[in-house]
Structure 1
Amino acid sequence: MAKAGPDVSGENQGGFASDGSSIWGFSHMHDSGTGGSPSLGNFPIFPQAGCPNDDINACNYTQWERLIPRVNGTASARPGYFAITLESQIHAEMTVTNRTALYRFTFPEIPTTSNTTLSPLILVELSDLPQTRSDGNITVDINNGRITGSGRFMPSFGIGTYKSYFCADFDGAELKDAGVFANSRAGRTKSLKVASEGIENSPSERPAGGWVQFKKPDKNNQIQVRVGMSFISEAQACSNAEKEIPNNDFDAVVDAAAQAWKDKFSVITVEAGGVSEVLLTTFWSGVYRSMISPQDYTGENPLWQSDEPYYDSFYCIWDSFRSIHPLITLLDPHSQTLMVRSLLDIYKHEGYLPDCRMSFCKGFTQGGSNADIVIVDAYLKNITESIDWTVAYEALVRDAEVEAPNWDVEGRGGLESWKNLGYIPTENLDLLGVGTETRSISRTVEYAYNDFVIATLAQALGHTDDYAKYLTRSGNWHNMFNPDTRSLLVNGTDTGFTGFLQPRYMNGTWGTQDPIFCSPLLDFTACYLNPSGGETYEGPVWLYTFFAPADMATLVGVLGGRAAFLARLDWLHDSGILYMGDEQAFLTVFLYHYAGRPARSAQRLHGYIPALFNDTVNGIPGNDDSGAMGSFVALAMLGVFPNAGQDVYFITPPFFEAVAIRNGQTGKTATIRNVNFDPSGVNVFVQSATLDGRPYTRNWLQHSFFLEGGTLELTLGPSESKWGTREEDVPPSLGPFGRANETGTGGGDTVARRWGMPKFDMPFRGSW
């Protein structure tokens, strides 16, 4: 829960940025890599070496007054530790335990401000990064300098408010003075309450907080600040701090934090094989960032009493289902189990699974009900301990059948049309709930895949009728495919491709959205979550036409067969229309597997890594989305990317000579080894493979490989081979395969053979 760091005036969604912007404080909780509004950053502290002429009102209290540049080149970071030097020559170091931040400020022997003696003043402000505090209170204990307080704040990407509490203690110098401040003036009053300015829960921009001043520090000119955090009470914030850091031993806390990270990383073994430090740093940074969120707030939930774990900062499941949760499942199945249990506990107490959640508030739903995918992915991969699958199935069915009153923040919208028409119409008449009536195309394809994973769990739990219903509904993406739509570039040049998903009205007639609209080629930022957004979300029709994760064999046929599909997929990657900084792009890198060309997936990966994913400041192509970009690059470099919601991992050669993952449930180790490995990246094509010494021709793996352990050996070469190209070697798919793959026909028997499901007829609605 505690993630200490400096807060800057520039790009500060996560607090700090390497953009050279000035620092206004150091706060104790952050969310990493989010877009949009900044998040958390509650109760920042700020050190000053002294006040000019020893006048407390000559110190700086407001954020705009205390902004101070960093000394370039002084930022130092490693797991569990961060340090930076301010232009005032104050050196700030920080580390954390679970719910407590510990800072060590080293002050200059001679303060840099004129006429100032070394009498450090440290303030705590009742604010957060996005400046949403509506009310609060603060109390300073004159006997020991302890400062406690609370505030009410708003989430960064959702509705409602939350309350947060802190408890700050100081060590290293004798207390000289203390008090509170409001606006730019300080006084020696020991407590302060602030309220919203006339409107309930409206943000207040008026600065307010507390301060303590010390005599010259006892040792090394250092003062330590311990800040406990809680969402329950000030008393619990103090208790958290006292239990977790009883003696303020900064170096010991740093060592413990580092060891906690080493323990997390220890399940992975990498034989680098001579690759560059750029690739090694990129990989391990990706793993690290993937483990920052969701955050364990167990014991800190003020909304309901429960024996179940509580996780927060699901930013957002639309981003994280694709790669964050599958990577955590591989590396830390125990934590993934707790997260699934937390999702189900949220459902039990709030009525729906969240698609996004932060700071105990409901976050905005960007597309489908994608917690469904996380839960079914867990079921397929043995994440089952203490999970009530009856409740899990009930939660999934509620998403699919009961429209939420406000489907902007939970569940799905347009369910009447979804059930009766088989798609989400443009300009839909929805009398069951309210929500942003955009994204009809992207919501349709996401709802279809959500229904597919429900069908998967229905079959596993013996709900035969539901299985047939949801499997049929999973084909609804067909109903928005218009075979006559052509794609032209802005200059009128024909891309040469016909047939794309298109908007459709309630009466069945077609609308129009340019297939390149909302891409880097045309109005890139036009399709965000707003009432005027387009019929796709954060991406063009070109991209969403490829989104049929369970039905790829049918899609290959619909788009003209393997050759035509490959040509279209190549255009997607070569034209500049695809933006790798958004998560929908991830799966498209591996879709070559379904057309029997896994070598092309490997080739694409080496085009994106390290060109777009590397160890520079710009080495993340988009905002990290709490580790989404990190998890993509980590999985890709491990050589096993998941089709989330299915028991499928696409095989591409790891970026190292060998990688091994030790399973946290079974203790078994799965190893992938490259033979003829070339660190320069020439030999990236699999020529042949063996699994535990036996020939292996499929271009995909199942999770049993990681549970049971074993060795997958990939013999590499400089050119594409026949490995993984046969019809029987491609990943499973609902639709046809083999000769039917060229015509786009198929039926229930094909489904049964590909997935091992009972045979039944699949009467998809409409025609294509």
Structure 2
Amino acid sequence: MMKIFSVKVRSFSETIFCFLAFSLVGYANLDFTRHVNVFQGTAGGGNRFPGVVAAPFAMVKLGPDVKSGTADAYSGYLPNGNVWGYSLMHESGTGGAPKYGVVSQMPVIGDLPNPLVDLSQPRASPDEGNIGYYKSSLANGIVIELTATEHAGLYKYSFPSNSSGPSIVVDVSHVLPSFRGLGWEQHYSYGDFNFFEDGHYEGSGTYDNGWNLSPNWNIYFCGRFTQQPVTTKTFKGSGTTLASYDTTSSISGNERVGGVFTFKDSSVISRVGISYISTEKACQNLDNEIPEQTDFQNLVGKARNKWNTEVFSKIQISSENSSDHDLLYSSLLGMFMIPSNLTGENPDWSSPEPYYSDIFTLWDTHRCHTALFQIVQPEAYEEFIRSLIDIWRFDGFMPDARSSNYNGRVQGGSNADNVLADAYVKGVRGSINWDDGFSAMVTDAEVVPPNNHDPKAPDSSTKEGRGALPDWLKYGYNTPTFTRAVSRAVEYSTNDFGLYQVANGLGKIDEAERYLNRSRNWRNHWNPAASSNGHSGFVVPRRANGSFIPQDPLSCGGCYWGDAYYEDNPWVYSLNALHDVYTMKKWIGGDEKFVDRIDKLWELGIFNAGNEPSFASPYLYNFVKGKQHRSVERSRQIGKLYNAGERGLPGNSDAGAMEANILWQMIGLYPITGQTTFLILSPWFPELTINLGNGKRLTITTTGGNKDSAFYVQSLKVNDEPWTKSWISFEEIFSNGATLSFVLGSDPVDWATGDLPPSPSSGDQ
């Protein structure tokens, strides 16, 4: 049996097993996890979680919590610093501020007079890991190995054989801190901890805040050990000051509480289940998923099998370069760690519908992540759509983001509308109630959400919905009364286009016309006199009296919550109305100016591959005859910014948005959200196959070139028929499967002579 636990964070490229696949024959039975670096994007701002996620969207994400000065450990992990616990709940690739890091254990050696002091330890060597497995070696000689299931975790502790008093500390107050000073740090407010005669323990913790500013939420836990402790103690105190520390069997309160277990043997196995519902449910989850005598390696194997079957085997490639496989499968892992599937774990309402939380954020993921989510995991994707609608039924609004079962934070528009529209136009039906789905979208479009008084944007709600809706309904644009007025206007237009798409499909003629017209409101921010670097016409702030506010198109102030533009400047947002491209093109000055406008994003240093508003900009060349090769060139430039290493992402993972972007480059297509259009780029591999389910496949082949130097499309056949358009629709390649046969070469040719991509809001094109 092959060894799978040899991947080290500092030497992944040297130690990972290299398998060179020259054909896809027999490939389906291989273990794709050998190509996964769980440490991809864990350094350099990627914020990826490297610990154990036993299945796509598992509730338990078991891994280390590391502290290093005042650096925020968003996923719990940092490559440098001291480990101060191993907790069961984390998020992956998030920003803003950390969330979770709860239900933690920390092993210690020797006399422990005060469990409230800093018990953290340096690591003796880099952490190791692969799918379903994680290992830390601490400076004091303790080795911790982790595996998990979807609702429970298994810890394997190996203490030095000559150590005295091997102990495990369970600190209910443990939570990931934030040092950014934004007021988004988490707080612990209450805990309880209880020993039972059969040796197991139970408890719960109450916490609040984090990046989504959630109020109090509870998590319950249930733990068991494979050997009886020599001693058990509970503790209580504030800061590092003990109030009590004795053999009392139960303890609770607003102070820090927990338990200390001391063992005789140097090898200890700890099993812990969690639940949002109750300690009884936590124990049930533990006993169902990790019963006594569970084999550690068996759980690792189950996790590998889950990921292989449900995700990795869905996309297969032929490539002689092992780094291609590493990048592909490491990126797929990054895509499917969150949201968390909490079906059966909803503490707020009872419903037969699926339930997902830990959504970060649809502002990030609607652009290209959810389109690939549908293709790779169609069953879970339908569940996710149903969950968004059910959250509206019970909470009043769909989330743009959600964590600890609470909506927030909205950075721009109500982008669940885009996700639902994308699903609808691509034929996702199943058990989705689309009448309710459209009603949820109408709520976003017509109901002003209550202001949650976010200190970073106090003008309107950042919790859910469209905070600037009063201006949108009154003026058809957003005034500076509202923060992020311009970027929100561009997104509200896209949201309204999503409502048009669903209304049109449901035969709601009046509503369709209303929202199609509203989808053009981004135009009301267009100032033809605004100029920069030889270009005129940009989206700018506008007063209630209709006058434009002078704006340097190269500036967006701080580009943050209180500014007119969020995370990008007018150059980028003026190219973001992807449902109305021909209006953009016309107002920019025609094809030549449009191409130059895109070029300038690079020439002026504006384009940022790590920033979502820029994601589609490199491929807008496809909307101009004879320029598809420019999209290919930009795609290849972006591809060079990625690899499977620690610093392998050009920006924050953003819950897999960054990884989805590179996966589409590898496939050679780019989705336009809310539409069935895919812009054609240039695939990376001689052969790539996507398993679409029900015996259907999309097979993409290339001949005559390579991904690194001879990557220009010379010709394309779809199902053996010549294809001359720079785009293709979902129905033509994904609904029933297809073959795309590319001929590549070292020089661009004008092969895409057919119709240009659609621009549905542009009217007469």
Matches within 5 A, 1:239-318: 239-247=284-292, 248-275=294-321, 277-318=322-363
Q: How many Å apart are 1:703 and its aligned residue?
A: 1.7
> Counterpart of 1:203?
none
Q: Indicate if the aligned counterparts of 2:191 and 2:203 stay in contact, CA closer than 8 A.
A: no
The structure 1 segments of at least 4 consecutive aligned residues displaced by more than 4 Å after TM superposition are none
8 Å CA contact 1:142–1:177 kept in 2: the answer is no
Looking at structure 2, the residues matched to 18 and 190 of structure 1 have their Cα atoms a distance apart, in angstroms, of 35
Rounded to whole Å, the distance in 2 between the matches of 1:353 and 1:290 is 21
The correspondence of residues 458-473 of structure 1 with structure 2, limited to 5 A, is 458-473=503-518
Q: Deviations over 1:730-767 (max 9, x none)?
A: 2111366xxxxxxxxxx4x54xxxxxxxxxxxxxxxxx
From 62, 65, 88, the counterpart of 1:7: 65
Aligned position for 1:72: 125
Match of 2:25 in 1: none
- Give the alignment partner of residue 609 of structure 1, picking from 639, 643, 648: 639
Q: Are 1:211 and 2:256 matched, yes or no?
A: no
Q: Structure 1, residues 61-85: CA drift from partner, whole Å, max 9, x if none?
A: 33xx212111233x11212221111
Residues 501 and 545, structure 1, Cα contact 8 Å, conserved in 2: yes
Equivalent in the alignment of 1:510: 548
Equivalent of residue 270 in structure 2, options 219, 225, 240: 225
The answer to whether the aligner puts 1:648 opposite 2:677 as a matched pair is yes
Distance in structure 2 (CA, Å) of the matches to 1:104 and 1:350: 40
2:691 aligned partner: 662
- From 642, 662, 674, the equivalent of 2:702 is 674
Contact 1:445/1:547 (8 A) holds in 2: yes
Moved more, 186-195 or 458-467: 186-195
Which shows bigger deviation, 338-347 or 161-170?
A: 161-170
Look up the equivalent residue of 2:629 and give its one-letter code: A
Matches of 1:527 and 1:168, distance apart in 2: 46
Q: Distance in 1 between matches of 2:474 and 2:212?
A: 32
- Equivalent position of 2:462 in the other structure: 408
CA distance in structure 2 between the partners assigned to 1:327 and 1:650 by the alignment: 14
Counterpart-to-counterpart distance in 2, 1:154 and 1:603 = 43
- Give the TM-score normalised by the residue count of structure 1: 0.86
Q: Indicate how the Cα distance of structure 1 residues 735 and 182 shifts in structure 2: closer, same or farther if over 3 A, else same.
A: closer
Provide the residue aligned with 1:763 in structure 2.
none
**1:561 counterpart = 2:590:** yes
Q: Does 1:527 align with 2:559?
A: yes
Deviation of 1:164 after TM superposition, in Å, equals 0.9
How many residues align? The count is: 681
Q: Does 1:22 align with 2:82?
A: yes
Match of 1:618 among 623, 647, 667: 647
Summarize the Cα distance change of 1:469–1:706 in structure 2 as closer, same or farther, 3 Å threshold: same
Q: TM-score, normalised by structure 2?
A: 0.86
- Residue 399 of structure 1 aligns to a residue whose secondary structure is helix
For 2:226 and 2:700, locate their aligned partners in 1 and report how far apart those are by CA, in whole Å.
50
Q: Which residue is equivalent to 2:454?
A: none
Report the alpha carbon displacement of residue 536 of structure 1 after superposing the two structures with TM.
Answer: 0.5
Partner of 1:760: none
Determine the C-alpha separation between the residues in 1 that align with 2:470 and 2:204. Answer: 48
Change (3 A) 1:363 1:306: same
Cross-structure match for 1:433: none
CA distance in 2, matches of 1:469, 1:27: 49
1:32 alignment partner, SS class: coil
Q: CA deviation digits over 1:152-209, x for unaligned, max 9? A: 33343233221111111111455433333434443222222122xxxxxxxxxx5431
Q: Distance in 2 between matches of 1:94 and 1:462?
A: 53
The answer as to whether partners of 2:125 and 2:138 remain within 8 angstroms in 1 is no
1:142 Cα deviation (Å)? 5.3
Instruction: Report the secondary structure of 1:137's partner residue.
Output: strand
Q: In structure 2, which of residues 233, 243, 246 is the aligned counterpart of residue 187 of structure 1?
A: 246
What pairs up with 1:269-668 in 2 under 5 angstroms?
Answer: 269-275=315-321, 277-406=322-451, 407-427=461-481, 437-487=482-532, 495-518=533-556, 526-529=558-561, 533-596=562-625, 597-610=627-640, 612-664=641-693, 666-668=694-696
Q: Is the 8 A contact 1:45 1:125 kept in 2?
A: no
Pick the aligned partner of 1:696 from 719, 723, 735: 723
Whole-angstrom CA distance in 2 between matches of 1:174 and 1:647:
60
Gap runs ≥5 in structure 1: 112-116, 196-205, 428-436, 488-494, 737-746, 751-768
Q: Distance in 1 between matches of 2:761 and 2:505?
A: 20
Residue 452 of structure 1: CA displacement?
Answer: 0.9
Letter in 1 for 2:252: K
Task: Tell me if structure 1 keeps the 8 A contact 2:620–2:631.
Answer: yes
Which blocks of at least 5 consecutive residues in structure 2 are unaligned?
1-58, 178-185, 452-460
Paired with 1:22 and 1:617, the residues of 2 have a C-alpha distance of 18
CA, structure 1 residues 657+268, in 2 after alignment: closer, same or farther (shift >3 Å)?
Answer: farther
Inter-partner Cα distance in structure 2 for 1:86 and 1:733: 57
Q: Please state whether the residue corresponding to 1:237 is helix, strand or coil.
A: helix
User: Is the 1:155–1:161 contact (alpha carbons within 8 Å) kept by the matching residues of 2?
Assistant: no
Q: Is the 8 A contact 2:364 2:657 kept in 1?
A: yes
Between the aligned partners of 1:570 and 1:562, the Cα distance in structure 2 is 12
Q: Distance in 2 between matches of 1:303 and 1:267?
A: 36
Q: Does 1:126 align with 2:166?
A: no
8 Å CA contact retained: 1:268, 1:659:
no
Cα separation, 2, equivalents of 1:328 and 1:553? 29
* Higher radius of gyration, 1 or 2: 1
Q: Distance in 2 between matches of 1:513 and 1:157?
A: 31
SS class of match (2:615): helix
Secondary structure of the structure 2 residue equivalent to 1:246: coil
Alignment deviations for residues 576-603 of structure 1 (CA, whole Å, 9 cap, x no partner): 2222212111111211111232211111
* Range that drifts further, 298-307 or 150-159: 150-159
Structure 2 contact 88–104 (Cα < 8 Å) conserved: yes
CA distance in 2, matches of 1:211, 1:306: 39
Distance between the aligned counterparts of 2:499 and 2:365, measured in 1? Answer: 18
Aligned-pair distance for 1:617?
A: 2.1
Distance (whole Å) between structure 2 residues aligned to residue 227 and residue 14 of structure 1 = 23
| Structure 2 residue 105 is matched with structure 1 residue 51 | no
* Distance apart, 1:695 and its partner CA: 0.2
